[in-house]
Amino acid sequence: MSKLYTPIDFGSFTLKHRVVQAPLTRLRSEQPGDIPGDLMATHYGQRASDGGLQIAEATPVSILGRGYLGAPGIYDDAQIAGWKKVTNAVHAKGGKIFLQLWHVGRQSHVDMTNRQQPVAPSALPFDQIVFTKDGWVPVSPARALETSEIPGIVEDFRRGAERAKRAGFDGVEVHGANGYLLDQFLQDGSNKRTDAYGGTVENRARLLLEITEAAASVWGKNRVGVRLGPSGTYGSMSDSNPEATFGYAADQLNKFDLAYLHIIEPRIVGSEAPVEGKPPVAAAQIRKSYKGRIIAAGGFDREGAEAIVENGTVDLVAFGRHFSANPDLPYRLKNDLPLNKYDRDSFWGGDYRGYTDFKPYEKVLEDA
C-alpha cells in the first residue's frame, strides 16, 4: 500500500491518511455578514473522513482584508456560530479541520472594505480583478501601509486565530501565498518599502513571521500551518531571487514547530499534472531549508501524489478540484476508483449545484 494512505503524527493527534482537502474559495457564505451556514456545513461534512485533514477556505481576518463577496469571515464574533456548524459536521465523522486566515491586501475593491482604500506594502499599479456585488471588477488602487499600522494587521490575525479556536477548529493556516498581503510583503516585485518591512529578505519576511508567531501564541505547537507559493505569479507577483526569498522564509519557520508548511506547485491551467509533468520543484527546493512536515498542492493526480510522498519530497498532498467533485476522494484514490468530473462553472459562488450534490462512489453504484 502506498505511503499516501498511511498514518502521520501531528503532535497532539494522528491523521490516518495523507490526502488533504485544500482550501478552496467557493463563495457560499450567507449574506450579509459573511457567515458560514448550513450549506457550507454540509459541504465540509460530506468531505470529512475518519482521521483525515481538511483546510477550510481562505477567511478574512478583517473588513479591510476582504476581496471576494461570499467568502466567509472570521473578523466578527457573529461568525463563530456558523463556523461551529462546520467544525461539528467534520468532527462528527472523525475528521480534523484547520481554518485558513486571510488578508487580500491590494487584491480588493472599496465595495468590499466599507469604502476604505485597500492596503499593500507599496502603492504600485497592477492588473487584477475581484468579486463584488457587481460581479468581477478591477481592483481599487491600493495605498502603502504606514509602519505604525502593521501591528494592527498582526493583531487582526491573532484575533482571527482566537475566534477560530472558539469555533472548534483543530488549528489554523496562515495564508502567505497567491499574491495576497503576506505574499505581497515577502516578494520584492510588490514590496518597495525602505522601513523595517522592506528591502532585505529578512525585512520582507518580517510580517509573515510576526503573524505566524501571533497565531502560535494562541494555538501552541503543531496547531499552526503556513501556506507559501514560491513559484506563484497570480496577482502580478514576482521576486528577483525566489530561491533565496522562500528558502529564508522556510528556514525561519522551522522555529515555530508548525503543524506543516503548505507549498503550492505551479500547474498548467486545465491540466491535472505539475508543469510539464515534472516533479514538485517548489516543494523539493523548500525541503532543503524546512525540516518539518510539508504539504504539496498543485494539480496532482493519484499517481503523482503517491510518488512524491513515497520519495519523501513531501509528507502529505492537498487536492482541490478533485475534492470539490468527490466527497469520498481519499477512498476513491486508495482503491483506484474513477473520479467524478468537477464543475468549473460552479467554483465561484452559487447554490448547492456543483457544491453539495456530488455523490460518493457507493451511492453512484447503488443508483446505477
Which residues are designated catalytic?
180
- Alpha-carbon distance 281 to 337, whole Å? 28
Residue 232: which of 298, 295, 284 has the closest Cα? 298
* Cell output for 235: 496577482
The alpha carbons of the chain give a radius of gyration, in whole angstroms, of 19
* Residue among 334, 341, 343 at smallest CA distance from 309: 334
Q: Residues near 337 by Cβ (< 8 Å), separated by ≥ 6?
A: 331, 361
